[in-house]
A and B are shown apart, each in its own frame.
Chain A
Amino acid sequence: MSAIGRILSSRAGIIITGIIVGILAPVLVRQGNPGNMGICVACFSRDIAGAIGFHRAAAVQYIRPEIIGFVLGALVAALIFREFRPRTGSSPLVRFLLGVMAMIGALMFLGCPWRAYLRLSSGDWNAILGILGLAGGICVGILFLRRGFSLGRAYAASRSLGWIMPLLMIGLLVLLIVAPQFGRDPQGNPAGPIFFSAKGPGSQHAWNWLSLGAGLLIGFLAQRSRFCTVGAVRDLILLKDAHLFSGIVALVLTAFVTNLALGLFKPGFAGQPIAHTDGLWNFTGMVLSGLAFTLAGGCPGRQVILSGEGDGDAAIFVLGMIVGAGLAHNFNLASSVTGPSPYGPSAVTIGLIVCVALGFFMRDKRTG
């Protein structure tokens, strides 16, 4: 087992993870997930937020087993390789805010960095501006890191803290299977507590156990290889280290080939699934996301994985993303296929101001 662990921690491991994501994501689309959304940590967190009633956007409500699998797969890997290390205390409130902001930016673009790369690999050229925006946001984050930005240290915590996120995910899995309904409102609509979309992206999903299995495998591999779609660009620029970036190259190339093989490659700007063509706001939304992820130390997938290995601060970031998704839909900030909402640009601008202010002011003199 230790030999497997060593391989997965090496350059080969990060490339294997990218290849597996690049195969599984288009397969999940072919098996029922929404277009170019085989894996999207932001979209899936948003669907989960809707499923538990944090927002009532009827088209995007579902408990996505992929996210549950990410956390539990990472937990299993961390336990096997003795990396389950409960910890917290690194500015959790700031991380919560960063999670909210990252989600507002991602829902402007309609996808997290994972989906941005997957959209690119299937010929959605709107993703090019999104990825450029992501890189721009990461560059702004790097400027802050260079001048000493820090959220401070995390400290070892009680073992029970590390189990909270995995247990929450098992709770979500039970809710997915049982889908309890506490009656109906006077109009005959389900009164919750669980809401599943009857139409729209939330109603489109692969077989649950396939999604869960894919999530478990990716969660396991990503925990071992430290796969991170934001750290990839950050390390390339900041440390001249292409280790993580090689995983992204593997993901994009493999997903491109798999999309071609499955007949899912459709190049162009217009008419792409769950995407809009407003280049300015595709770019700016991802600037916000890239900045928020960089300040928090990793992409949304990485945060979910870290939450599975006991990182309470990453768990708070993930919960911030789920609350951010609720805010984005309840306040009508999220884009649709027709373009940004009337209020989205203001929200992204406010988010940028908040993140830049955090970048300036959050400096830990003891560690800088």
Chain B
Amino acid sequence: MKDAKTVDARGLSCPQPALLARKALDSISGGIVHVLVDSATARDNIVRVAEKAGIKATVLNMPDGSFQLSMTK
């Protein structure tokens, strides 16, 4: 079963974006998780959290300066 989840973590303080990303990854058995963040700190934290789970996060720079991270489990 392939799931798709989107988490909007824009504007949240550390460590909430990384925590929400991990929660979303844990909640699906397989599929893709998109996380929206608006700081480079949150972006880098999520990339590291995903790497720890053996998942590669691809980053898309959005026109408004925010980032969309996509992680396939």
Contacts and interface: CB of A to CB of B under 8 A. Distances in A.
Interface of A: 9, 83, 85, 87, 89-90, 145-146, 150-156, 226, 228, 231, 234-235, 238-241, 243, 296-298, 313, 367
Interface string B20-54: 10100000000000000011110011001100100
A140 B22 CA distance: 20
Given A83-B40, A226-B41, A239 B13 contact: no
15 contacts: A9-B40, A83-B39, A87-B11, A150-B13, A151-B13, A153-B10, A153-B11, A153-B12, A154-B11, A154-B13, A226-B41, A241-B48, A241-B49, A313-B13, A367-B16
The secondary structure that dominates the A interface is: loop
Contact of A297 (B9, B13, B44): B13
Nearest to B44: A9
B14 A155 contact: no
Contacts of A235: 15, 18, 45
Contacts of B41: 226
B40 A239 contact: no
A85 B37 CA distance: 13
Given A85-B39, A226-B41, A239 B18 contact: yes
A68 B8 CA distance: 34
Interface of B: 8-16, 18-20, 22, 38-41, 44-45, 48-49, 52, 65
Given A9-B44, A145-B15, 7 more contacts: A151-B13, A155-B11, A156-B38, A240-B52, A297-B13, A297-B15, A298-B13
Best-buried of B41, B44, B45 by chain A (most CB within 10 Å): B41
A156 B20 CA distance: 21
A150 B22 contact: no
A85 B48 CA distance: 23
**Leading 9 A-B pairs by shortest Cβ distance:** A153-B11, A297-B13, A154-B11, A297-B14, A226-B41, A241-B48, A239-B49, A239-B18, A155-B11
Contacts of B10: 153
Interface centre among A87, A151, A243, A367 (most CB of B within 10 A): A367
